[in-house]
Amino acid sequence: MMKGQIGVIGAGTMGAGIAQVAAQAGHKVVLTDNNAEQLLKAENQINTSLDKLVEKGKIAEAFAQEVKANLSYSIHLYEHQDAALVIEAIVENLTVKHELFKQLEQIVSQQCVLASNTSSLSIASIGACLQNPSRFLGIHFFNPATLMPLVEVIPGVATSAEITHSIETLITNWNKTVVVCKDTPGFIVNRVARPFYGEALRIYEEGLADFATIDWAMTQMGGFKMGPFTLMDYIGNDINYTVTETVFAAFYYDPRFKPSFTQKRHMEAGFLGRKTGRGFYDYSENAQASAANEDSQLGTYIFERIIVLLINEAADAVFMQVASPTAVDLAMTKGVNYPKGLLAWADELGPAWVLKKLENLFEEYGEDRYRPNPLLRKVVREGSKFIS
Find the angle CA(113)-CA(120)-CA(75) to the nearest 5 degrees. Answer: 50
Closest approach, Cβ 284 to ligand NAD, in A, equals 25
Closest approach, Cβ 129 to ligand NAD, in A, equals 13
The amino acid at residue 292 is A
Q: Are 28 and 6 in contact (CB under 8 A)?
A: yes
What is the 3-state composition of the chain as percent helix, strand, coil, each rounded to the nearest 5? 55, 10, 35
152 catalytic per annotation? yes
CA atoms within 13 A on the CB side of 322: 23
Closest approach, Cβ 312 to ligand NAD, in A, equals 25
The residue within the footprint of ligand NAD, chosen from 13, 45, 220, 276 (CB under 6 A), is 13
- Exposed/middle/buried for residue 37 (C-beta within 10 Å: 0-12, 13-18, 19+): exposed
Closest approach, Cβ 241 to ligand NAD, in A, equals 14
CA-CA-CA-CA dihedral for 375, 377, 380, 386, to nearest 10: 20
Closest approach, Cβ 141 to ligand NAD, in A, equals 6
Nearer to ligand NAD, 13 or 72 (CB): 13
Q: Are 54 and 157 in contact (CB under 8 A)?
A: no
- Pairwise CA distance, residues 80 & 254, whole Å: 41
240 catalytic per annotation? no
Window 25-44: contact mask with ligand NAD (x via CB under 6 A): --------xxx--x------
Window 130-169: contact mask with ligand NAD (x via CB under 6 A): -----------x-x--------------------------
Q: Which of 337, 241, 238, 232 is nearest to 281 (CA)?
A: 232
Q: Which stretch binds ligand NAD (CB under 6 A): 47-55, 112-120, 315-323, 332-340?
A: 112-120
Q: Which of 210, 197, 204 is nearest to 295 (CA)?
A: 210
Nearer to ligand NAD, 66 or 245 (CB): 245
140 catalytic per annotation? yes
Residues in contact with ligand NAD, counted by CB under 6 A, come to a total of 22
Name the closest residue to ligand NAD (Cβ).
Answer: 12
Residue of 190, 237, 240, 312 marked catalytic: 190
What is the 3-class SS of 175-216, one letter each residue?
Answer: CCEEEECCCCCCCCHHHHCHHHHHHHHHHHHCCCCCHHHHHH
119 catalytic per annotation? yes
Residue of 119, 237, 240, 373 marked catalytic: 119
Segment 42 to 101, residues that bind ligand NAD, using CB under 6 A: 89-92, 96, 100
Which residues participate in catalysis according to the annotation? 119, 140, 152, 190
Footprint on this chain of ligand NAD (rule: CB under 6 A): 9-15, 33-35, 38, 89-92, 96, 100, 117-119, 141, 143
